[in-house]
Structure 1
Amino acid sequence: TDNGIEVLINPSGYQRTMGVCYSTRATQGQPAATPKFAHVKPETLTLPQLVFDGTGVVALVGMESVNAMIDKLLKLLYKVDGDKHQPNLVCFMWGDLKFFGYVTDVAIDYTLFKPSGEPLRAKVKLTVLSSMNVEESLRRANLSSPDLTHLIDVRAGDTLPLLCQRVYRDPAYYLAVARVNGLVDFRDLRAGMQLRFPPLS
């Protein structure tokens, strides 16, 4: 498409990296701390080898040079958009894979050249950080069980950290829950208002 790039040689594979952060801060006098769940890290996708070939092995009508293909790739994935003041959010699709994120690293290995020095083949490694939003992060953290209520009516004296402690058994999610509910100030709770605590099951 005009806003995308189709790689003509299928990648040899890809890697998906996921992680969970735990706090191991010990209180004074404790010999060791029990790891306590902190948050789920955004997923990372690594494409170890995208091949751009200009030798004619996979030649198509109107095919561009390797330099032109690499320039197009960098413009799409890496260069800062002047209107958005950041690189583009991109989607990688191959088979069942559909991954949205931002490219954090680009490594280009030029491996074959014309006598003039113009590249005929390049292998590109990409690292992509997922654009997973707060609600999706909470859902992946599986911070619910079937008996939890996700719509809670605020009562007099309730605070968001207190409600997060009640629902998630951890008050640290109050800022994320405030964002999900569109609260500008997490302290601005009124009796009778209803709050949504993701994930929804």
Structure 2
Amino acid sequence: MKIVAFKDPDYSSRVGEYDLLVNPETYKVTNEQQYSNADTTIGSSAQSAKFKGSGSGLFEILMFFDGTGMISKDKVDDQIKEVKELIYQYNGDIHEPNYLRVYWGTQSLFQGRLKSWKVNYTMLDMDGSPLRAEATATLVASVSAKKKAIEERKSSSDLTHVRTVLDGDNLPLMCHRIYGDSSYYIKVAQHNNLTNFRALKPGIKISFPPVI
């Protein structure tokens, strides 16, 4: 596993990289969705959760540092300094920390920026200098504004979408997926010249026009 640093949100201007001495046995990925309570009426029996947007995506890895000579001859402090300067330190060119991508082989596992950094020294020499340490790095997902706009545009309801009918699909359900409102099924049926929208045949393609 390696961490590659960039100084731009599009991850194109590479700064440097750090190869972990030992590949971690596990890593953690956390994603969340954010909601607000749409119904705040006093005395209501239940609340409706209204979608606000995607929350923070988090990626957590545990890095191992060894200065006993079994894995590396470099001092633990020097190893920690190397990776910390890459992922934690302030980059004067952009006036903020670097943007990061985590790779395992050729696969990109995560991209974002460092949220937190914690070091646990697990073995000390007689003079108190560290011989082994573990560092927990937590990254928060970061997508460039350009890429975000493209992705949001792809799923926008003001574009024409073409979908293939699958087993169990019905027009109101498909309309809800595209527009967030199943009541558009009549307009979609008319647009596609469907005479029997209640019995859609799997495999046919249906065009969903922009919402007007």
Tell me the alpha carbon deviations over residues 118-173 of structure 1, each in whole angstroms, 9 at most, x when there is no partner: 11111010100011245548848x9568x9527xxxxxxxxxxxxxxxx8559xxx
Supply the AA of the counterpart residue of 1:85: H
Q: Answer yes or no: is 1:101 the counterpart of 2:128.
A: no
Shift in Å at residue 64 of structure 1?
2.1
Question: Structure 1 pair 97/33, CA: closer, same or farther in 2 (3 Å)?
Answer: same
- Flag structure 1 segments of 5+ consecutive residues without an equivalent: 151-166, 171-201
Q: CA RMSD in A?
A: 3.1
Q: 3-state SS of the aligned residue for 1:5?
A: strand
1:55 and 1:120 in contact (8 A); partners too: yes
After alignment, is 12-21 or 77-86 more displaced? 77-86
Q: Answer yes or no: is 1:23 the counterpart of 2:24.
A: no
Aligned to 1:118: 129
- Report the number of matched residues: 149
Q: Answer yes or no: is 1:46 the counterpart of 2:56.
A: no
1:42 and 1:137 in contact (8 A); partners too: no
Aligned to 2:187: none
Q: 3-state SS of the aligned residue for 1:98?
A: strand
Shift in Å at residue 97 of structure 1?
4.2
Q: Answer yes or no: is 1:73 the counterpart of 2:83.
A: yes
Q: Answer yes or no: is 1:128 the counterpart of 2:139.
A: yes
1:78 and 1:88 in contact (8 A); partners too: yes
Q: What is the TM-score with the length of structure 1 in the denominator? A: 0.63
Shift in Å at residue 79 of structure 1?
1.3
% same residue = 31
Aligned 1:111-190 pairs, distance under 5 A: 111-133=122-144, 135-136=147-148, 139=151, 143=155, 148-149=159-160, 169=180
Tell me the alpha carbon deviations over residues 96-128 of structure 1, each in whole angstroms, 9 at most, x when there is no partner: 443111011001000111111111111010100
Q: What is the TM-score with the length of structure 2 in the denominator? A: 0.60
Shift in Å at residue 58 of structure 1?
1.2
Shift in Å at residue 73 of structure 1?
1.3
- Flag structure 2 segments of 5+ consecutive residues without an equivalent: 5-14, 162-177, 182-212
Question: Structure 1 pair 143/37, CA: closer, same or farther in 2 (3 Å)?
Answer: farther
**Bigger Rg over Cα:** 2
